[in-house]
Structure 1
C-alpha cells in the first residue's frame, strides 16, 4: 500500500503538489518521523476523538500530546479516544494506526493545533505504515482550510 485511495483522490482534487516518502515500517507518527529522517515537529499526528454525536480529528505535531481537557472546553462536550474498531470504520482504506490528518477526505471534522500553521514543510501518514506524504506548509493549510484552529497540545 502507498497512499490510501480516498486520501489520494482528495490530494489530487485539491490540486496541491505532494510527494511520497518511503520509510521502514513504523507503528507511530514519531516512529515514522524517525524512520524517514524527518524532524518530529514537522509530522502532523492525528488523534481520532469520539463524542456523543460523532467524531473529530485532533491534529498535533508528532512531538506533542493532545490536551483532551482543553479540547473538551473548545468543543463544549465530553470527549474520549476512539477505539481501533471505530477508527477502522471511519478510515476503512487505511491500516490501523496509519490515519492521515486530512479529516475532510473522510468527512470527519478536524481541529488543528495552531502550532502546525507555522511549519514550512509537513509530513503525514499516507494510510500505511511505510509511507509519509510530504507537502509544503502552504499546501497543508489549503488541505485543512476547513479545520478549526486552536491551541490544545503540549510537548511531553
Structure 2
C-alpha cells in the first residue's frame, strides 16, 4: 500500500493520525466504496475545477455530484471541469483520476460540500486506485479548516468517473 509522496509528507508534517486501507483497483468512487464496504457518503472525492485565475478543488461525498451551476452562483465566478491533461500536470504524483481531497498540499484552493462533515470518519483516495486514507472527522476538519464551505452537490443517479 502506498500513498502519493506529496500527500504523505504533508500529512506527516501536520501530525495527522491516519491509516491506509488497501482494496482491489477500482475505476470510480462508488466502486471504491463498494469494494471497501464503506458507505459512499463517508468517501470524500475530489473534483478539480478550472477558474479564471487557476484551479479549485471541490470536495464532496462519493454519493454525490457537483452542481456546477450552483457552485458558480455561490462563488460568483465561471468554473469548468479541469481536463485530464490539466489534472496530470497539477497532481503529478498520483495515478490519473486518483486525486486526494487535500488541496493545500498541491497548492489548490478548496471548497467543501457541507455534507462531508456529517460523518464521524472520512476515507479518501491516497493517490492510486487501490489505497484509501482513513482518518477521523476531527483530523480531516483540521486539515481543511481554511477551506470554503457550501451546499453545491446532488445525489448521484448513476456511476461517475473517479476524480470528476
Q: Which position in structure 1 is the counterpart of 2:9?
A: 9
Give the alignment's Cα RMSD to 1 decimal. Answer: 0.9
SS in 2 for 1:20: strand
Q: Could you tell me how far apart the structure 1 residues matched to 2:153 and 2:55 are?
A: 18
CA distance in 2, matches of 1:9, 1:117: 24
Structure 2 match to 1:110: 110
Structure 1 segments, 4+ long, off by >4 Å, are none
Secondary structure in structure 1 of the residue aligned to 2:60:
strand
Q: C-alpha displacement at 1:29, in angstroms? A: 1.4
- Say whether residues 1:31 and 2:36 are aligned partners: no
Which residue pairs with 1:142 in the alignment?
142
> 1:74 offset after TM fit, Å?
1.7
Shift of residue 150 of structure 1?
0.6
Structure 1 length normalisation: TM-score?
0.97
**In structure 2, what is the Cα distance between the partners aligned to 1:44 and 1:3?**
16
Once the two structures are superposed, what CA deviation does each residue of 1:80-100 show, in whole Å capped at 9, x if it has no partner?
100010001110000001000
For 1:1-150, what aligned pairs fall within 5 Å after superposition?
Answer: 2-150=2-150
**Partner SS for 2:132:** strand
Partner Cα distance (1:115, 1:100) in 2? 18
- Number of aligned residue pairs: 156
Q: How far is 1:118 from its partner? A: 1.7
Gaps of 5+ in 1: none
CA distance in 1, matches of 2:106, 2:28: 20
